[in-house]
Amino acid sequence: MKRWMILLLLVCLTMGLTGCAGEAATYEKYTMSFFHTFDTLVQIIGYAENMDVFTEVTGRAQAEFERLHRIFDAYAPYDGVNNLYTVNRDAAGGPVPAEPELIDLLLFCRDRQAQAGDLVNVAMGSVLSIWHDYRTQGEGDPENAELPPMALLEEAAQHIDFDDVVIDEEAGTVYFADPELSLDVGAVAKGYATELVAQMLLASEMPSFIIGAGGNIRAGDPPLDGRLRWGISVQSPDEPVFGDNASLDVLYFANASAVTSGDYQRYYIVDGQRYHHIISPETLMPADFLRAVTVVTEDSGWADFLSTTLFLMPYEEGRALVDSLEGVEALWVLPDGTIEMSDGMKTMARSQGASSR
């Protein structure tokens, strides 16, 4: 899963008051955060009538994030939960009951994979687990860090056909027709979960909010301090998160999501060269077309899926894909540092004249 923070919530938000349709109610800005869910820091900023409302709403949001984390966790079992770990462990032996949210996520991925050109494949777990193991070993013992043997990766790549994942929606089960197959939903699970929580907040007493879950940002209704849009900072690939030049640009929007994929947070070093975690299904190696790409669209799960997809494409192919999709905008950072934006992204970017008003 993406565990890094590449989009920073702007901390310069001021506490404000607003009236709604002539009502006298006032709204204050509150902030809370928690860790470990999806192995990342989650922050929620919201405008609520009082602290009690904020605490109650965000308490439910945190509980939902934690519940979804258990369902989508590929590394540990939980009592009473038929999660991704359970499916990967047992589905080769026959149909395995799975939580409804996991079934829905897999169906979402199947549909989106075809729509986005098959580069993001959650059935690629056999390959990604090899990279995960070598990266973990290399992080713990840098002097002996190694690349996975290509023969090992090529053998694993014989077992990544999503058509071998048999999903019975009515029965709520998953079966692997290929016993060597395994699932890895890291390219989409955090964004998908963030969207489910966002829908909960939009229906709550606090629809004015912004969620930051690592590199996944989901904004609800506009901030209730007179601004029309939230502002988020896109991190430069070459600067520390809290460095003086960390912000590459600022994007302004409401009721939308922004997700970034990049090569500069989860990686390890082998013989002086950096190898990041976003693996191409075509080469079985880390993709090298881009430094980073940020996607803005309404659904955070789709934004998460697309950011990985675009990172695995040359800019020209990715631009053509974005231009073909309704309601999707993107910002690319090319290897030489050049920044490209889709036309709609330019209307959101401070560098192009956009603002929160």
Angle subtended at Cα 293 by Cα 323 and Cα 118, rounded to the nearest 5 degrees: 65
Angle between helices 315-324 and 300-311 (to 10 degrees): 150
Provide φ and ψ at 30, rounded to 5°.
-130, 155
Known binding residues for Mg(2+): 187, 304, 308
- What's the rounded Cα separation, in Å, for the pair 184 and 207? 32
Helix (H) or strand (E) holding 322: helix 315-324
- What's the rounded Cα separation, in Å, for the pair 273 and 89? 34
Provide φ and ψ at 23, rounded to 5°.
-75, 155
What region, left, alpha or beta, does residue 74 occupy, with left being phi > 0 and alpha being psi -120 to 50 degrees? alpha
In the 8-state DSSP scheme, what is residue 205?
A: S
Known binding residues: 187, 304, 308
Strands (E), 177-228: 209-213, 216-219
β-bridge pairing 273-276 and 339-341: unpaired
- What's the rounded Cα separation, in Å, for the pair 44 and 41? 10
Angle between helices 189-202 and 300-311 (to 10 degrees): 150
Angle subtended at Cα 84 by Cα 61 and Cα 218, rounded to the nearest 5 degrees: 30
CB atoms within 10 A of CB 159: 18
Q: Establish how many alpha carbons lie within 13 A of residue 33's alpha carbon, considering only the half-sphere containing its beta carbon.
A: 9
Amino acid at 329: E
| Widest pairwise Cα distance in the chain | 68
